[in-house]
């Protein structure tokens, strides 16, 4: 009886409802134990043979022993413990509640100050800084446009007036060609789009052009111009691109949407193979011939500024676009039109004098590569045959010791040379690699030239019948493409002569065409041509051409006079007439032309300073916003406080509580997750659920914590956990159970449950 009563009381105490029975039945259906006022029995428990009252009052006289002294003593001890736990728990709860109240008051005041004063001020400063940055970038753009205008005026002067449209166009395309060779030789990787003519792209930005959708496999592109798209609506975009490039210096540049494309340049036949996979043998001697501008744009003698199309609209490389009027543009353009564009562009590039100057080297390089490959293959075959003979000799050795005569016979049978080989395979490999690299430079140049043709075609389409405006744009682009190409004055002088001079070559020059000296027979010695009182080329380029001729004519004469069957041990610059382009240097005389462009650093510094100021303002604003979020987190949020309406969870925030039961250890973490682990397991375990909040049972008023969305049971629900709280001096788990599959129930005592309601319920 005593044991039963103690267990019964403990169960009632553990569940935190010692008086629940006293309130569960109406008075007319209850029996009160005389000496135990808190023990109330339903009438069905009277005279049932079980002694519920400590003195046996619920059973016939003499049926039960009187053990009230022990039972009442245990009840008094349990009550005293409950009172002590409540006193300690309620005191701790009250202290934490007071602390949270003070914290809440102080934090809310700080939040209000940040929200009403600090945050609006910083947001206004950031907005003002945004305007300053935008204006600084536009100022840089306008300053750059002015510098471009001054540069073009100084560089061209009257040249643009007397040069033909095709000469200017050829100058741009060949500049791109040489810039591609230089970029490949230097290993430059300034753009993610490896196939586009980067100098022309950047020159376009200097004139507020943005090319898009470039496809040098389909041979077409589109163009956007700031002036043609609402003016100011596009200017901030152009300004942003110009500033980024100015700040990056020689780093990765950007020129709009196309800069992130890994555009795959098509080969001369329109395929999309990569540079390294192209067949360099495609450069045949017969494909290179003198360029003539007999058709396409031509110069009207009556009006030097009036440029118009030839009757056949046959500008070399010009895209021929045909629209199908029947389907109203719904169908893609025909393969014939694409082939026409391809043929026009590839023919124009191949027939250009710069391309023709590369033909002898390409032809010689391919012949040497074939010879080297043959020698290397023969060497490998001989080595293999020698191994077979040696193996035979080793087998014969089992019967007879080898003699000098037998060994010599074996070498003779294998065809091996007892002397040192006539060539070094490693040296041949290096020679072949040098040839491949130079061929790749040329192929890269061809890709850039193809890109230039495609981009210029798009510009022509954009201008329509505005031929005067088109020519001026082309002149501007030519000057700025040279600037961005980073080519030295010597190479630009060569290009100028090839594009604009010697359109009627002498018989001697015609005879030398197709030889490795052809380019210098057209340049050296430098000549001056007069057109309508204008001297071509400019004096600066004449001096550069003289220097170039002095440096290279003798080298070319030597490289072009050797035995074609000779196998060189190395490939020097100038071999078969090909020189790798030279990069612009600080002492280059061409720098005089671009003084205005080099004076923009102050404007760039201004932009950088305003951007740093904006970053400081952004940082201050973000810091304040983070501070505001931290303050709100500190009090558990403002709209739906996670610590409860009165902050009672604040004292046990982020705490974890564990207990062992059976072969498992269980752990519940406030605001985090509940876990089941094997005993002794330190990490991991089964996720019983994530924190879902605390609520009150509507009937009993008991606090209930929940975790849900845990690991899914096999063929069952996702695991979940529920914790029932009762008052205690410390927070700890008391029991663990799994009443339903994958649904876990725990009891926990904690000081947060020691409130006035519990006090009244306990009758304290």
* Interval 101-143: pLDDT, tens: 899 899 999 999 999 999 999 999 999 999 999 999 999 999 9
Window from 105-119, 211-225, 397-411, 533-547 with minimum mean pLDDT = 397-411
Selection from 707, 697, 696 nearest residue 667 by Cα: 707
Q: What pLDDT is attached to residue 242?
A: 93
Q: What pLDDT is attached to residue 742?
A: 93
What percent of the chain lies above the pLDDT cut of 90? 40
SS3 213: strand
Tell me what the mean pLDDT of segment 36-65 comes to: 89
Q: What pLDDT is attached to residue 438?
A: 94
Q: What pLDDT is attached to residue 756?
A: 86
Q: What pLDDT is attached to residue 15?
A: 36
User: What tens digit of pLDDT does each residue of 720-749 get?
Assistant: 999 999 999 999 999 999 999 999 999 999
Pair 654, 669: CB distance under 8 Å: yes
Tell whether omega for the bond before 341 is within 30 degrees of 0, i.e. cis: no
- 467-485 vs 165-186: helix crossing angle, rounded to 10: 20
Q: Tell me how far apart the terminal alpha carbons of the chain are, to the nearest angstrom.
A: 27
Residue 60: both structure tokens together: 């016939």
Q: Where along the chain do its domains lie?
A: 2-66, 157-259+283-321+334-364+425-599, 650-762
Confidence bin at 81 (pLDDT 50/70/90): confident
Residue 753: both structure tokens together: 């449950």
Q: What pLDDT is attached to residue 425?
A: 82
- Please give the CATH architecture assigned to the domain spanning 650-762: Distorted Sandwich (2.70)
Q: What is the pTM of this model?
A: 0.67
Task: State the burial class of residue 543 (Cβ atoms within 10 Å of its Cβ: 0-12, 13-18, 19+).
Answer: middle
Q: What pLDDT is attached to residue 345?
A: 84
Window from 260-264, 487-491, 608-612, 722-726 with minimum mean pLDDT = 260-264
Selection from 454, 452, 463, 457 nearest residue 228 by Cα: 463
Pair 14, 726: CB distance under 8 Å: yes
Selection from 74, 75, 49 nearest residue 64 by Cα: 49
In degrees, rounded to 5, the angle at the alpha carbon of residue 563 between the alpha carbons of residues 558 and 565 is 140
In degrees, rounded to 5, the angle at the alpha carbon of residue 295 between the alpha carbons of residues 290 and 300 is 120
Q: How far apart are CA 286 and CA 58, in angstroms?
A: 125
Q: How far apart are CA 736 and CA 717, in angstroms?
A: 19
Q: What pLDDT is attached to residue 204?
A: 95
Tell me what the mean pLDDT of segment 666-689 comes to: 94
Average pLDDT, the chain: 79
- Per the model's pLDDT, the better-predicted residue between 489 and 260 turns out to be 489
């Amino acid at each position: 009886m005593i044991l039963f009563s103690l267990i019964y009381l403990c169960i009632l105490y553990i569940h935190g409802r010692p008086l629940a029975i006293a309130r569960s039945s109406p008075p007319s259906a209850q029996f009160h134990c005389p000496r135990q006022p808190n023990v109330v029995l339903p009438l069905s428990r009277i005279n049932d043979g079980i002694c519920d009252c400590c003195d046996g009052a619920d059973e016939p006289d003499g049926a039960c022993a009187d053990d009230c002294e022990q039972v009442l003593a245990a009840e008094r001890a349990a009550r005293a413990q409950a009172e002590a736990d409540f006193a300690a728990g309620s005191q701790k709860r009250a202290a934490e509640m007071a602390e949270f109240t003070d914290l809440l008051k102080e934090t809310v005041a700080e939040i209000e100050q940040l929200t009403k004063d600090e945050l609006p001020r910083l947001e206004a400063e950031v907005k003002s800084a945004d305007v300053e940055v935008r204006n600084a970038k536009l100022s840089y753009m306008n300053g750059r446009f002015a510098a471009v205008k001054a540069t073009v005026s100084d560089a061209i002067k009257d040249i643009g007036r007397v040069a033909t449209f095709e000469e200017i166009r050829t100058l741009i395309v060949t500049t791109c060609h040489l810039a591609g060779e230089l970029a490949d030789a230097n290993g430059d990787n300034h753009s993610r789009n490896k196939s586009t003519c980067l100098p022309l792209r950047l020159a376009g930005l200097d004139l507020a052009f943005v090319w898009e959708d470039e496809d040098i496999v389909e041979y077409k592109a589109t163009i956007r111009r700031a002036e043609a798209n609402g003016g100011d609506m596009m200017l901030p975009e152009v300004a942003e691109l110009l500033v980024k490039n100015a700040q990056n210096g020689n780093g990765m540049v950007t020129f709009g949407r196309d800069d992130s494309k890994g555009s795959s340049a098509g080969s001369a036949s329109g395929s999309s193979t990569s540079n390294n996979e192209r067949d360099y043998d495609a450069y045949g001697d017969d494909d290179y011939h003198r360029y003539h501008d007999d058709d396409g744009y031509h110069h009207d003698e009556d009006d030097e500024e009036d440029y118009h199309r030839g009757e056949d609209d046959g500008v070399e490389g010009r895209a021929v676009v045909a629209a199908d009027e029947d389907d109203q543009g719904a169908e893609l353009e025909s393969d014939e039109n694409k082939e026409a564009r391809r043929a026009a562009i590839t023919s124009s590039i191949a027939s250009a004098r710069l391309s023709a100057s590369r033909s002898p080297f390409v032809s010689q390089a391919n012949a040497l590569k074939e010879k080297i490959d043959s020698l290397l293959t023969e060497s490998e075959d001989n080595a293999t045959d020698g191994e077979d003979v040696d193996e035979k000799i080793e087998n014969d050795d089992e019967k007879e010791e080898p003699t000098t005569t037998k060994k010599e016979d074996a070498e003779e049978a294998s065809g091996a040379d007892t002397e040192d080989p006539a060539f070094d395979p490693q040296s041949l490999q290096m020679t072949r690699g040098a040839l491949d690299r130079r061929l790749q430079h040329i192929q890269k140049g061809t890709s850039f030239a193809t890109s230039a043709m495609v981009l210029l075609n798009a510009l022509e389409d954009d201008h329509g019948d505005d031929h005067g405006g088109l020519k001026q744009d082309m002149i501007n682009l030519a000057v700025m493409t040279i600037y961005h190409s980073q080519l030295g004055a010597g190479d630009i002088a060569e290009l100028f002569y090839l594009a604009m001079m010697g359109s009627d070559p002498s018989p001697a020059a015609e005879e030398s065409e197709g030889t490795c000296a052809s380019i210098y027979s057209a340049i050296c010695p430098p000549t001056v041509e007069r057109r309508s009182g204008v001297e071509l080329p400019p004096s600066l380029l004449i001096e550069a051409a003289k220097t170039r001729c002095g440096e290279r004519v003798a080298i070319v004469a030597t490289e072009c006079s050797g035995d074609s069957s000779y196998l060189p041990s190395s490939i020097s610059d100038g071999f078969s007439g090909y020189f790798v382009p030279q990069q612009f240097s600080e002492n280059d005389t061409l720098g005089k032309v671009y003084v205005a462009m080099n004076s923009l650093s102050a404007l760039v510094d201004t932009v950088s300073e305003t951007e740093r100021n904006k970053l400081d303002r952004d940082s201050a604003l973000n810091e304040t916003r983070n501070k505001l979020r931290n303050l709100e987190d500190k009090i558990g949020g403002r709209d739906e406080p996670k610590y409860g309406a009165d902050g009672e969870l604040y004292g046990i925030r982020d705490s974890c509580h564990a207990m062992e039961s059976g072969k498992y250890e269980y752990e519940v973490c406030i605001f985090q997750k509940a876990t089941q682990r094997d005993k002794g397991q330190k990490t991991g375990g089964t996720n019983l659920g994530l924190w879902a909040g605390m609520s009150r049972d509507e009937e009993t008023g008991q606090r209930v914590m929940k975790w849900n969305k845990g690991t899914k049971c096999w063929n069952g629900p996702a695991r979940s956990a529920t914790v029932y709280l009762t008052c205690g001096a410390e927070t700890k788990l008391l029991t663990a159970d799994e009443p339903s599959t994958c649904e876990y129930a725990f009891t926990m005592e904690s000081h947060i449950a020691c409130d006035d309601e519990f006090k009244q319920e306990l009758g304290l």
